[in-house]
Chains A and B, each alone.
Chain A
Amino acid sequence: MKKIVFITLSLLLAVSFWNCEKDDICAEGTPVTPRLIIEFYDAANPTVLKSVTNLGVIEPTFTEGFGFTGVNKIQVPLRTTADITTLNFIQNGSDTDTANDNIDAITFNYERINEYVSRACGYKTLFYLNDINPIELTADGNNWIQNIEVIQPNIETENEVHVKIYF
């Protein structure tokens, strides 16, 4: 019995020190706020994937954006502060030549739900594209994007394609 008491005491003392350790950090790979996954297809041959070259994606009022080249699947972030996000998809936008740019503005309309993740990660935002007008392509008479199709309106993970763009 005495031994048990001794073991218990030392174990508890060890635990009391371990208890003082700092808060954990949000581990990488934890499913947090998902980005919108877009896959690009050939407008002439709608079942064939087509890679983008020097595609620039930027919020119209921002100075910094994202550049994609040689890929047919991209990830773009949506606003967690509003139910609407407009992004400029610029053909040849991520190269230095601005003369060949073709800007197509796309507006995403959705609803948001904030879901609890953990102490370290806080909350994540999940997006649900609207049934009516989920995605609007602003017609400018010279759109390089031919068609947009919503595959998965519930943007909850990054593991599936949400939107297909044909060009």
Chain B
Amino acid sequence: MLRFIFSLSLVCISLLGNAQTKDTAKVMYPERYGLRVGVDLHKIARSFYEKDYRGFEVVGDYRLSKRFYLAGEIGNEDKTVDDDRLNFTTKGTYFKVGFDYNSFENWLDMENMIYAGMRYGVSSFSQTLNSYTIYDPTNYYGENTIISGAEFDGLNASWLEVVGGIKAELFNNLYMGFSVRLNYLVSNKKPDNFDNLFIPGYNRTYDGKFGAGFNYSLSYFIPIYKKNKTTTEKK
């Protein structure tokens, strides 16, 4: 959580910093259109500090109009969850596609974003049930933990995401971003006699159909073409 607050404030500060640029009267500012590609820093960092996790995500967006961006993520996760009664490993690849709507009124030549968006995500994965414990309330004969190793292949799930986030230009064409996501499970192919407790890209599942996630992205903007915008005088 500390990391999250730190990077959030970092992004906010950079937004503030950019806001300090001097005003000028009626100038033409070109709006740049292009492709932005990057990676999720959180997944990379987690792969280092969390023993049972390996993950990678590539993020990208393409500016369609003044406010709309075609956006998507593609990634791979391998996570072992060690719960009280279950220990399992989920491996798989996911793909998300959708759009972002930038609500931030940029001054001058700034290109920051405060956005909301939607994604449709699909994930294909497999699970290995490493071990499980029988729940016997009397516990008369002692705890019975079974080493299973059962594999469940060919699982898949799809979901809708509501995305909210910010992106700020740190240096020339280099962007730092943070987004949070509320997920709604649309389809979920469950294994026989087990459940999808973790879905790559979707994260942990709960009893209902909702889930949540977030990412911190570091991305690079590749300008493709420009359109002019006129800003009116501001004091």
| Chain A interface size, under 10 / 10 to 19 / 20 to 34 / 35 or more | 35 or more
Is the C-beta of A19 less than 8 angstroms from some C-beta in chain B? yes
Contact, CB under 8 Å: A5 / B116: yes
Distance in Å: Cβ of A81 to nearest Cβ of chain B: 5
Contact, CB under 8 Å: A81 / B144: yes
Nearest-neighbor residue (CB-CB) of A18 within chain B: B212
Nearest-neighbor residue (CB-CB) of A10 within chain B: B164
Contact, CB under 8 Å: B141 / A59: yes
Q: Which of B83, B115, B141 has the most CB of A within 10 A?
A: B141
The residues in B between 62 and 87 inclusive whose CB is less than 8 angstroms from any CB of A are 83-86
| Set of chain B residues within 8 Å of A117, measured between Cβ atoms | 135
| Set of chain A residues within 8 Å of B115, measured between Cβ atoms | 5
Is the C-beta of B194 less than 8 angstroms from some C-beta in chain A? yes
Contact, CB under 8 Å: A12 / B1: no
Number of residues on chain B facing chain A (CB within 8 A): 38
Contact, CB under 8 Å: A16 / B103: no
User: Residue A124 contacts which of B134, B162, B194 (CB distance < 8 angstroms)?
Assistant: B134
| Set of chain A residues within 8 Å of B170, measured between Cβ atoms | none
User: Residue A122 contacts which of B85, B116, B162, B204 (CB distance < 8 angstroms)?
Assistant: B85
Task: Tell me whether A122 and B164 are in contact in the complex, defined as CB-CB below 8 angstroms, given that A1-B103, A15-B180 are known contacts.
Answer: no
Contact, CB under 8 Å: B134 / A119: no
Is the C-beta of B181 less than 8 angstroms from some C-beta in chain A? yes
Contact, CB under 8 Å: B136 / A20: no
| Set of chain A residues within 8 Å of B134, measured between Cβ atoms | 33, 80, 114, 122-125
Nearest-neighbor residue (CB-CB) of B191 within chain A: A116
Contact, CB under 8 Å: B85 / A121: yes
Contact, CB under 8 Å: B103 / A80: no
Distance in Å: Cβ of A47 to nearest Cβ of chain B: 30
Cα A33 to Cα B140 in complex, Å, equals: 12
Write the residues of chain A forming the contact surface with B, with a CB cutoff of 8 angstroms: 1-2, 4-5, 8-9, 11-13, 15-16, 18-20, 23, 26, 32-33, 35, 59, 62, 77, 79-81, 114-125
Write the residues of chain B forming the contact surface with A, with a CB cutoff of 8 angstroms: 1, 4, 83-86, 101, 103, 114-116, 132-138, 140-141, 144, 146, 162-165, 180-182, 193-195, 197, 203-204, 212-214
Q: Provide a sorted-by-A list of 18 A–B residue pairs whose CB atoms are within 8 angstroms.
A: A5-B114, A8-B164, A9-B165, A11-B182, A12-B162, A12-B180, A19-B204, A19-B212, A32-B135, A32-B136, A33-B136, A77-B138, A80-B134, A81-B141, A121-B135, A122-B135, A123-B85, A125-B136
